Amino acid sequence: MIFAYFSLLIFLFLQLLSSSGAAIGSNVLKSYVDLLEFPLNLEYMEAEFFLWGSFGYGLDSFAPELADGGPSPIGARIAKLSPLIRDVIAQFGFQEVGHVRAIKNTVAGFSRSLLNLSREAFATVMNDAFGHQLEPPFNPYANDINYLIASYVIPYIGLTGYVGANPKLHSPTAKRLLDGRLGVESGQDAFLRALLHERGSKNVEPYGITVIEFTNRISELRNKLGRHGLKDEGLKVKPTVGAEGKIRGNILVGDKYSISYDRTPEEILRIVY
Residues that bind ligand NAG (CB under 6 A): 74, 116, 118, 120-121, 124
Closest distance of CB 160 from ligand NAG, Å: 24
Closest distance of CB 123 from ligand NAG, Å: 7
Closest distance of CB 118 from ligand NAG, Å: 5
Q: Which is nearer to ligand NAG, 111 or 203 (CB)?
A: 111
Q: Which is nearer to ligand NAG, 20 or 118 (CB)?
A: 118
Sign of CA dihedral 119, 231, 11, 65: positive
Closest distance of CB 17 from ligand NAG, Å: 25
Q: Which is nearer to ligand NAG, 113 or 124 (CB)?
A: 124
Q: Which is nearer to ligand NAG, 126 or 212 (CB)?
A: 126
Closest distance of CB 131 from ligand NAG, Å: 17
Q: Which is nearer to ligand NAG, 169 or 225 (CB)?
A: 225
Q: Which is nearer to ligand NAG, 124 or 146 (CB)?
A: 124
Q: Rounded to whole angstroms, how far apart are CA atoms 148 and 259?
A: 24
Q: Rounded to whole angstroms, how far apart are CA atoms 108 and 35?
A: 13
Question: How is the chain classified by DSSP, letter by letter?
Answer: -----HHHHHHHHHHHHHHH---SSTTTT-SHHHHHHTTHHHHHHHHHHHHHHHHS--HHHH-HHHHTTPPPPBS-------HHHHHHHHHHHHHHHHHHHHHHHHS---PPPP-B--HHHHHHHHHHHHTS--SSPP-TTSSHHHHHHHHHTHHHHHHHHHHHHGGG---HHHHHHHHHHHHHHHHHHHHHHHHHHHTTTSEETTTTEEHHHHHHHHHHHHHHHHTSSS----SB--GGGSGGG--SB-SS---TTSPPP---HHHHHHHH-
Closest distance of CB 252 from ligand NAG, Å: 31
Q: Which is nearer to ligand NAG, 121 or 235 (CB)?
A: 121
CB contact set of 61 (below 8 Å; sequence gap of 6+) = 55
Closest distance of CB 133 from ligand NAG, Å: 13
